Structure 1
Amino acid sequence: GNVYATLSGPRNQKTPVSIFRIDRDFQVRPFVRDLMNPTGLAFDGEGYLYASSRAEGIVYRISPTGAMTVYAEGMGVATGIAFDNDGNLFVGDRSGTIFKIDRERQIFVYATLEPSVAAYHLTFDTTGTLFVTAPTTSSRDHVYTINRNGEVDTFYNGLGRPQGSAFDIDGNFYVAASLNGQRGIVRITPRREASLIVSGSSIVGFCFLEDGCAAIATNNALYHVELGIEGQLLPSTNS
């Protein structure tokens, strides 16, 4: 029930606290220090947190007490990360590569995409399809899908600067993006019908909470918003 949030800072500059933990009572506590430009976060099935450093191209494994070890190196400009149901970790190098790291820490090139000006954001659906957002200089960016064979397709085209994403239990896809010039959180149904459900000029990411609410991140704050949406559970891994 805790929420974890990065404070990434300018490239190649460390912030005093890299990752914060926000408890159920909304108390904000420093969790990790001395991690350069943390960007993507993901948990494994044992409660370890994984964080990418876009400056170092490293994915770190972080214990429940905040102790860090290197999990994988050479990830380019490492941004979004996500686990699949088999315990494989996927890492988005925003210069154009999606890496797959298996449970033995072998690294594979899983797919290649157009480079992003900001970051890749990765989310799995219940079928094991990987959804990727990648802001570019275009005003009509794609949401990509990558199947289990690494084949890339377009799920939706026409968003402005799509970033963080998540699914609800009904299979609707949600993404922080601009739709028809208005910024916020966009819902895209399985029939690929898009609508804006939350409006906010600087929203970059979010996650659904267990009470039907969402934690919504802007560039400098987190908001607790009641939406009445039940989020899809993250993959259960044993890595």
Structure 2
Amino acid sequence: MTSSSSRRARTAGVVLGALVGAGLTVPPSVAAAVPVVNCPSAACTQVAGGLGEPVSSAYDANGNAYITYQNGDLRKVNLATGATGTVARGLGNLRGIDVDGAGNAYVGDFDGNLWKVDLGTGSRGLLASGLGPLHGIVHRAGTTYATGGSGKLYEVTQGGAVRVVASGLGLSQGIALDGKGLAYTADMFTGRILETNLTTGAGRSVAKEFYEPASISVAADGLVYFSVGDQVTRLNPATGQGTQIASVRGLNSVIFRLDGNGDAYVAQVTGGGSLWKIKGLTRL
């Protein structure tokens, strides 16, 4: 009979071999645990440069990124070519963004305004105001959810009706939905990963004691991904078990957003501003 320890060792060897072949390097000190993703490498490539100081980004199914700026600009980046263009200007001190797949973006600014922007024409309409700094935006099926510096989770419908889903969530730079009625936020003040029922507002802490967690995402596998510094953690919200899956080296910060394929995109403000792609982050 094969022991469980020998099975783990053999499995680890297979996984590490695959990671190295994908462009990842694994130092001896962490060879049995966490792979290092070097940027640049085959696993981490620059998509575009000369982007200035991007704040947040969202991605559509057609291979485009949409990036917000504090000067009120909303820009578009073609992920295949790196070509950039300006969608709209004068939107305020922008923070969070999401897109709906129907040609619209939803952006929040530091003054608490939530805007809907036509990505084809740049025309915009104000959906809500007075919500406090809106760092995290997500849009699903005609409804926008937003959170940020006020510690509140807002639900905003197409007609502009605003409902406070929950309060006391601290400061989260992002929000993610699991598609089953739950939202996840990361409180940078207390280090908690929070789960909120979007219908009832009931919430719970599924993990805690992380230092300034960011980049909250829910992948196709139903697990939660977030970053602390250059470390990426995969969390099972049902059990509270978290596993560090990668250490990303060579970037100034690792505040990422996942696409539908499990790839991660990271916007950098240093070196003239750039956008990076980490292939298959959720498969590490």
Q: TM > 0.5 between the two? A: yes
Q: Distance in 2 between matches of 1:176 and 1:150?
A: 25
Q: Distance in 1 between matches of 2:158 and 2:133?
A: 22
Gaps of 5+ in 1: 9-13, 231-239
User: Cα offset for 1:76?
Assistant: 1.7
Q: Distance in 1 between matches of 2:275 and 2:245?
A: 19
AA at the equivalent of 1:90: Y
Q: Distance in 2 between matches of 1:153 and 1:84?
A: 22
| Structure 1 residue corresponding to 2:235, chosen from 188, 199, 213 | 188
Looking at CA atoms only, which structure, 1 or 2, has the larger radius of gyration? 2
The corresponding residue for 2:165 is 110
The corresponding residue for 1:2 is 64
- Output one character per residue of 1:61-118: Cα deviation in whole Å (capped at 9) or x when no partner: 1102222221211212222111244x321121412211111233211111002432xx
In the alignment, is the contact (CA less than 8 A) between 1:84 and 1:128 conserved in 2?
Answer: no
AA at the equivalent of 2:219: D
Q: Distance in 2 between matches of 1:218 and 1:207?
A: 15
Q: Distance in 2 between matches of 1:84 and 1:63?
A: 16
1:13-162 equivalences under 5 Å are 14=71, 18-23=73-78, 24-54=80-110, 56-65=111-120, 66-85=122-141, 87-116=142-171, 119-136=172-189, 138=190, 141-147=191-197, 148-162=199-213
Q: Distance in 1 between matches of 2:228 and 2:268?
A: 12
User: Cα offset for 1:225?
Assistant: 1.9
Query: Runs ≥4 in structure 1, deviation > 3 angstroms?
Result: none
In the alignment of these two chains, the number of paired residues is 211
AA at the equivalent of 1:59: L
TM-score, normalised with respect to structure 1: 0.78
Which range is displaced more, 194-203 or 57-66?
A: 194-203
- Output one character per residue of 1:154-182: Cα deviation in whole Å (capped at 9) or x when no partner: 1211222112222222112111224xxxx
Q: Distance in 1 between matches of 2:82 and 2:226?
A: 24
1:189-204 equivalences under 5 Å are 189-190=236-237, 191=239, 192-200=241-249, 201-204=252-255
In the alignment, is the contact (CA less than 8 A) between 2:127 and 2:159 conserved in 1?
Answer: no
Identical aligned pairs, as a percentage?
18
Q: Distance in 2 between matches of 1:214 and 1:78?
A: 22
AA at the equivalent of 2:218: F
- Output one character per residue of 1:17-50: Cα deviation in whole Å (capped at 9) or x when no partner: x222111322122222222221111122522101
- Output one character per residue of 1:106-143: Cα deviation in whole Å (capped at 9) or x when no partner: 11111002432xx441110021201011211x5xx011
* RMSD after superposition: 2.2
TM-score, normalised with respect to structure 2: 0.67
Which range is displaced more, 212-221 or 120-129?
A: 212-221
Q: Distance in 2 between matches of 1:219 and 1:155?
A: 31
With over 3 angstroms needed to count, the CA separation of the structure-2 counterparts of 1:121 and 1:48, relative to structure 1, is same
Q: State the SS of the aligned residue for 2:131.
A: coil
User: Cα offset for 1:209?
Assistant: 5.5
| Structure 1 residue corresponding to 2:258, chosen from 207, 217, 221 | 207
In the alignment, is the contact (CA less than 8 A) between 1:79 and 1:92 conserved in 2?
Answer: yes
The higher-RCO structure (CA 8 Å, 6+ apart) is 2
Larger helix share, 1 or 2: 2
Q: Distance in 2 between matches of 1:89 and 1:209?
A: 19
